[in-house]
Amino acid sequence: MADVSVTGNFEWDYASRDHNVSANDGNLMGHDQEVHFTFTNKTDSGLTITAYNQYSSHDGTNDDTYVSIAGGFGTLQLGFTDGAVDTYEMNPLSLLAEEEVGTLHSSAANTTATIDTSTSGGGANANKISYHIPAMGGLTAGITQSTSTTLTGDDDVSQIGAKYALEASGAAITLGYSSSTTEVASAVDNDRTSMGIKVVMNGVSIMAAQGTYEAADEDRSTQSAAVSYTLANGLTVGFGTAKSEDDLDAGEEYTGNHYEASYVIATGLTAVLNVSDFDYKEGTDNGADTSGVDMNGTTTSLTLKASF
């Protein structure tokens, strides 16, 4: 019989948006709730088999659903989940409990703006197979492969990533790198990279990274950095900043700053106050969209987070 654990989390937030686009200006409430079921079994040969199921109970969708097989050879992971990019990429904004990107869109029709707001290596949940090597000193690494969404498609995705952790003068230092390639039939493949460094010392965490994205009509570069400090009374303060530019769309750029304070009210219950300001320049937009608008604004949000 497998060992079974049931956990979950709930988030409620209230956000006040001051936005130059009227459709995005105003106040919003939202919530997110998840339930996680984990089944773990250990074989006589020493393998650990884990089945993980994560459901978004507020909207009835599933997130991560996969099986992993771990042993002395490393870990093999199969199913609908994150890959090597998400495991090893360096995203400084992850030091913040919450952050707001500014509700970007590149036109009045609310289409997605073609700009990055983090140094992500392009990972996302999808059906895939991943292999992670056993830790060798401070080195961890992995590789992921996922197939096209249709039999006739040509959009297979390959990912690799690695992290190296070391100690120096009392500081814990982590270096990370990840990259992904998505095949595009009869066109330029989509390539992403992410690299960065994280330093933790005396309650202070500092992180900086750079990401790139290249495609048929994209040549983006993103730089971001963040710092957080945890006090003995359970209060954590943080600041993060990000800037992104697209060299093929002259003048298109995004800058954002995030200020945050989070407080542990009790075990499993945290309150987060976040203020974010951003400025987005639409630029020449080298694609088909000619109705884009510049955007800017400030969002103030209060989030209550509970874990079970």
Confidence of residue 101 (pLDDT cuts 50, 70, 90): low
Q: Which residue has the tokens 């963040």?
A: 226
Instruction: Round the average pLDDT of the chain to a whole number and report it.
Output: 87
Confidence of residue 172 (pLDDT cuts 50, 70, 90): very high
**The two structure tokens encoding residue 251:** 């003048």
Confidence of residue 158 (pLDDT cuts 50, 70, 90): very high
Average pLDDT over residues 3-22: 91
Average pLDDT over residues 195-224: 92
Q: b/e per residue, 171-189, with b = 16+ CB within 10 A?
A: eebbbbbbbbbbeeeeeeb
Please name which of 26, 37, 46 lies closest in space to residue 67, comparing C-alpha atoms: 37
The long-range contacts involving 139-148, CB below 8 angstroms and separated by at least 24 positions, are 139/163, 139/164, 140/88, 140/164, 140/165, 141/84, 141/88, 142/83, 142/84, 142/87, 142/88, 143/84, 144/83, 144/84, 144/85, 146/83, 148/183
Residue 118: pLDDT above 90?
A: no
Q: Which residue has the tokens 């996680």?
A: 36
pTM of the predicted protein model: 0.86
- What pLDDT does residue 186 have? 73
Measure CA 274 to chain center: 18
- CATH 2.40.160.10 describes domain 3-307: yes
Confidence of residue 8 (pLDDT cuts 50, 70, 90): very high
C-alpha 276/C-alpha 298 separation (Å) is 6
CB 272 within 8 A of CB 261: yes
